[in-house]
Amino acid sequence: MKDIGAFLDALVKDPTLDPARFAVTGVSYGGYMCYATATHYSPRLKGANCYVAISNFVTFLENTQSYRRDLRRVEYGDERDPKQRAKLIEISPLTSVDKINLPLLIATGGNDPRVPASEADQIIKAVRGKGGTVWHLLAQNDGHVFRKKENEDYYFWASVLFWKQMLLGGGR
The 3-state secondary structure of 115-132, one letter per residue: CCCHHHHHHHHHHHHCCC
Phi, psi of 137 (to 5 degrees): -115, 115
Mind listing the pLDDT tens digit for each residue in 120-147? 999 999 999 999 999 999 999 999 999 9
* H or E stretch at 105: strand 104-109
Asked if 46 and 169 count as a contact pair (C-beta separation under 8 A), the reply is no
Distance CA 137, CA 22 (A): 22
pLDDT at 133: 97
Mind listing the pLDDT tens digit for each residue in 61-108? 999 999 899 889 988 999 999 999 999 999 999 999 999 999 999 999
pTM: 0.93
Residue 170 binned pLDDT confidence (cut-offs 50, 70, 90): low
CA dist 75 to 34, 79, 104, 142, Å?
19, 11, 27, 25
pLDDT at 172: 62
pLDDT at 99: 98
pLDDT at 84: 96
